[in-house]
A and B are shown apart, each in its own frame.
Chain A
Amino acid sequence: MIYNIPYIAVIILIVVGLYAVVFKRNIIKMVMGITIIESGVNLFLVTLGYRAGGVAPIFTNLPEERQIPGQLVLPIPQALTLTSIVIGVAVLALMLALTIQIYRQYKTLDVTKIRRLKE
């Protein structure tokens, strides 16, 4: 049961992020919601690689009497998560830059008023 807690945390994070994107009016809160969803997905990827009783997968620096690969945590999900964190930073920077420029043009941060392109 205790090994399922990270997966439950992933679901909670994604639901909280989607709630912030769908029900909040401030653009910056929407951006924060997207970042929370991204944190949830990264947590999911890292948790996939866990093996009970394993050590960090550094091949050249193993302590004695540890056999590979059975007692290492999986390394591939850690690489996937690093890539995803970097992509998330780039997307976050782009969204915040767009928010600053939108504020200069529309003078408001309310997403129900930034609606010149409708129908």
Chain B
Amino acid sequence: MNSIITHSPALLIAIPLFAAFITPLLSRIHRRARDGFVLIVLAATELLALLLAQDIYANGIRKYVFGATLPSLTHPGTMSIPVRIIFEIDGLSIFMVLISLTIAFVATVYSSSFFKKEDGLDRYYTLLLLVTVGMVGMELTGDLFNFFVFLEITSIASCALIAFWVDRGESLEAAFKYIVISSIGALFVLMAIGFLYGQYDALNIAALANSIQFTFIDKVALVLLLAALTMKAGIAPMHMWLPDAYGEAPPSVTIAVVAATQASLYGVLRVCFTLYGKGLRLNMAAVGWTLVGLGLLTIFIGVTMALVQRSLTRTIAFAAVGEIGYMVIGAGTALAAGAQNFATVALKGGVFHIFNDVLDIGLLFLVAGAIIYATKERDLNNLGGLAKRMKYTTVFFLIGLLAVAGMPPLNGFASKILIYESTYQLNPIISIIAILSSILLLAIFVKIFYSLFLGPELPHLRDVKEVPKGMLVAMAILATLIIIFGLFPGYVLQTIVDPAVAALSNPTNYINAILGGA
């Protein structure tokens, strides 16, 4: 057991990667064998991640050196700088890994009954496992160029999955916009990595964080990294690819792309708090205020545009844009406030909101997928009166609606109250705009709930049936997690979120784990 935990960083990447390329072989045997195999692989990877999480919460940061004789040999021989690619896992990394693997598992459960008569499904499962590998790699790695490689893996695999329904022109257009935006952003990240390497001759995040000063080239690298990673995370006004991509992809692909977007937000947090963290936190206040301003713009644009959409998935996608703004104002307040008490509370709210948002928006997208499966309609004007026939779907949509709008006692409220109370102390206007936008979110989803589910049955929808069990099980997993996180928020905060926030607030722990406490 001990050796499994020692090698688990490598296994978390290797198991889905090998499974991704064995899946087409298994699909020759039978369709069910392939579905079951992917489910078992993702469940095993999640179990491994839970074991690793327990070890990290007990013993601190774990590092894994690829290609060394021992996994913890960062300085072989008499070297004074760390060589080889090193994975460094602290509380924030394992938090994001748990999010990514949960969403991948739920997406697979949903896909096994959503796609009945389509071909090309073996390539679909391969690409879904590759997206998982990319996300987990982005969150585990401690090396900047390795981060860039996993970022590109995630972008390429997600783009191919967004274009899954190739007979619809809109999916292809959305995938093309996604890949243009992703590759330009990634190329600017590579330029920033080049600047930092040329300045300090190191690619390891801990080694760079130890020796970084605020010269002109470092500021240029910070700007390039921030601009590209915030564009990949969907912050206004660079958010416009997000509704296109989320609205036209199959729903199980959309929740995987949501998790990939949160991995880019993890990149923003890493750059702002750890890479430029040691000794430079006081200088990042201007970046914090910019992030707060952009976050408010994101919330406002996302929520107001969602009210006027005609397509169901595009409405939920704009609401997802709004929710990203909440996380960013939490992180921005923590940067702008410096060492005051409410900075930690804001960061806790922002980081907790990452998990809550993925669960809530994921549940809403799965419900939208169930409606598309049952009625073959995407337009809000052609749907109505579905509650009589699709009872379970109605209940799940109600839970998702209350969670996204931040209603107690569900999980949206637990993270939003942390964000409201801490940003109020920075500037009351931030909190006021955030609360009003939350009310608008409730308005949007109550509108959809009223016009889609309540009311009389429309004549062309008289023979819709409830969706198959696989989709109901996937939605039930997310709804159960939402209710549990809502009823026990203190427990979840103490167990999962506090180590992540402590890891962000103390960059010296991250540096000393690799460089040995010098």
State whether the Cβ of A62 lies closer than 8 Å to any Cβ in chain B.
no
- Do A91 and B156 touch across chains, with their CB atoms under 8 A apart? yes
- Do A102 and B172 touch across chains, with their CB atoms under 8 A apart? yes
- Do B173 and A91 touch across chains, with their CB atoms under 8 A apart? no
Residue in A45, A94, A116, A117 whose beta carbon sits within 8 Å of that of B159 in the complex: A94
Find the residue from A45, A91, A99 having the highest chain B CB count within 10 A: A91
Q: In this complex, what residue of B is CB-closest to A107?
A: B169
- Do B180 and A95 touch across chains, with their CB atoms under 8 A apart? yes
- Nearest CB in chain A: distance from B147 CB, A: 12
- Nearest CB in chain B: distance from A87 CB, A: 5
Residues 380-435 of B at the A interface (beta carbon under 8 Å): none
- Do A98 and B175 touch across chains, with their CB atoms under 8 A apart? yes
- Do A91 and B169 touch across chains, with their CB atoms under 8 A apart? no
- Nearest CB in chain B: distance from A29 CB, A: 12
Residue in A37, A87, A116, A119 whose beta carbon sits within 8 Å of that of B170 in the complex: A116
State whether the Cβ of B234 lies closer than 8 Å to any Cβ in chain A.
no
How does the 8 Å CB contact mask read for A79-101 relative to B, with 1 for contact and 0 for none?
A: 01001100100110011001101
State whether the Cβ of B449 lies closer than 8 Å to any Cβ in chain A.
no
Q: Give CA–CA (A111, B244) in the complex, Å.
A: 15
Residues of chain A with a CB closer than 8 A to B197's CB: 48, 76-77, 80
Residue in A38, A98, A116 whose beta carbon sits within 8 Å of that of B179 in the complex: A98
Q: In this complex, what residue of B is CB-closest to A18?
A: B184
A34-B184, A116-B169, A117-B248 known; A48 and B198 CB under 8 Å?
yes
Residues of chain B with a CB closer than 8 A to A91's CB: 152, 156, 179, 183
State whether the Cβ of A106 lies closer than 8 Å to any Cβ in chain B.
yes
Residue in B172, B190, B248 whose beta carbon sits within 8 Å of that of A45 in the complex: B190
State whether the Cβ of A105 lies closer than 8 Å to any Cβ in chain B.
yes
Residue in A44, A76, A117 whose beta carbon sits within 8 Å of that of B247 in the complex: A117
Q: Give CA–CA (A106, B156) in the complex, Å.
A: 23
State whether the Cβ of B483 lies closer than 8 Å to any Cβ in chain A.
no
Residues of chain B with a CB closer than 8 A to A15's CB: none
Residues 9-47 of A at the B interface (beta carbon under 8 Å): 21, 27, 30, 34, 37-38, 41, 44-45
- Nearest CB in chain A: distance from B239 CB, A: 13
- Do A94 and B179 touch across chains, with their CB atoms under 8 A apart? yes
Q: In this complex, what residue of B is CB-closest to A115?
A: B173
Q: Give CA–CA (A30, B438) in the complex, Å.
A: 39
8 closest A-B pairs by beta carbon, nearest first, are A105-B169, A48-B198, A117-B244, A98-B176, A87-B152, A91-B183, A102-B172, A45-B194
Which A residues contact B (CB, under 8 angstroms)?
Answer: 21, 27, 30, 34, 37-38, 41, 44-45, 48, 76-77, 80, 83-84, 87, 90-91, 94-95, 98-99, 101-102, 105-106, 114-117, 119
Known contacts A91-B183, A116-B170, A117-B173; 19 additional CB pairs below 8 A are A30-B180, A34-B183, A41-B194, A44-B194, A45-B190, A48-B197, A48-B198, A76-B197, A77-B194, A84-B190, A90-B156, A94-B156, A95-B179, A95-B183, A98-B159, A105-B169, A105-B172, A116-B173, A117-B174
